[in-house]
Amino acid sequence: MQATYQNPVYDYRASPDQQAEQPVHHPLVIIGAGPVGMAAALDCARQGLPVVVLDDNNTVSIGSRAVCYAKRTLEIMDRLGPGQRLVDKGITWNRGRVFAGEGAVYDFNLQPEAHHRRPGFINLQQYYFEQFLVEQIQDEALIDLRWKNRVTGLSQSEQGVLLDITTPDGLYRLRCDYLLVADGANSGIRTLMGLESKGQIFQDRFLIADVLMQGDYPTERWFWFNPPFHRGQSTLLHRQADNLWRIDFDLGWDADPEFEKQPEQVIPRVRALLGHDNFELEWVSVYTFQCRRMDKFVHGRVIFIGDAAHQVSPFGARGANSGIQDADNLIWKLKRVLDGKAPRRLLDSYQQERSQAADENILNSTRSTDFISPKNKVSRVFRDQVLALARDYPFAQGFVNSGRLSLPSRLLDSALNTPDRDAFGDRQAPGVVATDGPVLTADGELAWLLNQLGNEFCALFFADDAEQVPVGALQALQQGDMPIRVLVLLAKGARGTCAGLPLLQDREGVLFERFDATPGSLYLFRPDQHVCARWRRWDIEDVRRAQARACANLEETEHE
């Protein structure tokens, strides 16, 4: 099997740290070089923070596993580096069809709002995603990725964390100020620390078959409830790169995973679905799933991210996508804490913001699971009648839940937000991630807003005309102990220059509208591109206070 992909083998290389008499100290160590651990490492490089990544294996994901990468993940990957490569290799899709019993129920188009750089989703095998991140990491001087390094012991004190690491050359030790744990759903480190991830185990088994098909098949997501070829259960068909198709069969709880995995079992199922024999089996797996999370993601100087911290069912693409947002949320905070520019309690906001996101993801994923595989008779009746109504009555299509689009969490309750003083629309309220939109740079280059925001705090000033820009005040924000990146966005068609300030133009005129901005408005974005404050009228002190609040540096937050 695996005709389309050969797993790379990354060489183990001994580190000079292994010969040191005393454990060598690093500010930050990450355990796990999966999508989430590697995203965190790349973000460290963007923040100028040196990092050691330890992985107990020497290759990328075996089999395709995670398949759907959402728009927000692609936007983060644009900031971290490999965004374009992922989109080029991935399959962009917008159209989905839902079938029930013998016939079609309805089809939908997820075509997002116009004028965004990235699509709603791409489908891409996890091994490509990981491979592209590894290759990006190989170009990063600040990242020391060590294959075949297994952490077998861990202790922490107020001063830091001490790790025992087993390698092909034997044992060595490392010290670090902070440890990030990204070793996946069955986290060995979580177990080593005697911690739990608690929640719901679903009594259901799914068969994944990745099949290779040559031919002209539509790039669509097809979902069947109770189809004639798989009575009583559901099936999902999805396209990946390299003419590979992902098929998920719901098998129910009583299925025998070893038996169902055998090609003699799988091939007839796939043939019944496709109605032909023109395919080859690439990879097969049977999985069960859980929706669960740790109570606390931060344990002293050990911080859990991704599936190690929280796990969801695969419906709705909320696993890898939310883990990557964990990294996006955490790394800028850690950098500021390590630099002494923010207090340690800034890390509490990681717990607060990302556990809210985890709860949202668990809720959505549980709801999808309950719809896809109803747990009792009446819930099955409701499900089937939603599908029956959906054929003729459009309202019922809204009740059909074969997985909800994963959107970034709106962190409206975050303690890092400065509440609005001026009246603004809700779309870009403090806590919400910045929306994208087309811009024109000062050089006349076609570009996108999110790619301009950088890796620091960023202030975006909206102006009608370059003459109106308060150059002095904006330049003052670029100075000081915590410099802010400043961008000026001119209305569509406006021209002019502004000494020392990067000028952008609202190329299609959509950004003023999306941000509900008027000339003179200022938005302040955190380094993870979430809005933390906005004003129609502001002064330097307002912006500095909002930045201080977003770094947990305000006096009043101490007393809260």
Partner 1 sequence: MNDLKLTLNCPDPDHIYSRLIKLHRVDDVERSLRINARLILLLANHIGDTQILEQALEIAGSMEMQGEKAHA
Instruction: Using CB under 8 A, list all residues that contact partner 1.
Output: 377-378, 381-382, 384-386, 388-389, 393, 395-396, 399
Q: How far is the CB of 498 from partner 1 (least distance, A)?
A: 48
Question: How many Cα atoms are found within 13 Å in the side-chain-facing hemisphere of 388?
Answer: 6
Q: How far is the CB of 386 from partner 1 (least distance, A)?
A: 6
Q: How far is the CB of 376 from partner 1 (least distance, A)?
A: 12
Query: Whose CA is closest to 14, among 187, 168, 121?
Result: 168
Q: How far is the CB of 385 from partner 1 (least distance, A)?
A: 4
Query: Whose CA is closest to 75, among 67, 65, 83?
Result: 83
Nearer to partner 1, 388 or 429 (CB): 388
Nearer to partner 1, 302 or 386 (CB): 386
Q: How far is the CB of 407 from partner 1 (least distance, A)?
A: 20
Nearer to partner 1, 261 or 380 (CB): 380
Dist CA 452 CA 458 (whole Å): 9
Q: How far is the CB of 395 from partner 1 (least distance, A)?
A: 5
> What is the dihedral angle through the alpha carbons of 209, 212, 216, 222, rounded to the nearest 10 degrees?
10
Dist CA 355 CA 296 (whole Å): 8
Dist CA 52 CA 108 (whole Å): 44
Q: How far is the CB of 398 from partner 1 (least distance, A)?
A: 8
Is residue 405 within 8 Å of residue 321, measured between CB atoms?
no
Q: Quote the strand ranges of 39-183, DSSP E.
A: 51-54, 68-70, 91-92, 95-100, 103-109, 121-123, 143-146, 150-156, 161-167, 170-181
Nearer to partner 1, 61 or 364 (CB): 364
Nearer to partner 1, 378 or 446 (CB): 378
Q: How far is the CB of 378 from partner 1 (least distance, A)?
A: 7
Give the per-residue SS3 of 22-37. Answer: CCEEEEEEEECCCHHH
Nearer to partner 1, 389 or 447 (CB): 389
Nearer to partner 1, 385 or 518 (CB): 385
Nearer to partner 1, 106 or 399 (CB): 399
Question: How many Cα atoms are found within 13 Å in the side-chain-facing hemisphere of 435?
Answer: 19
Alpha helices in 316-467 (DSSP H): 320-338, 346-372, 377-392
Residue with tokens 């990294």: 327
Is residue 366 within 8 Å of residue 291, measured between CB atoms?
yes
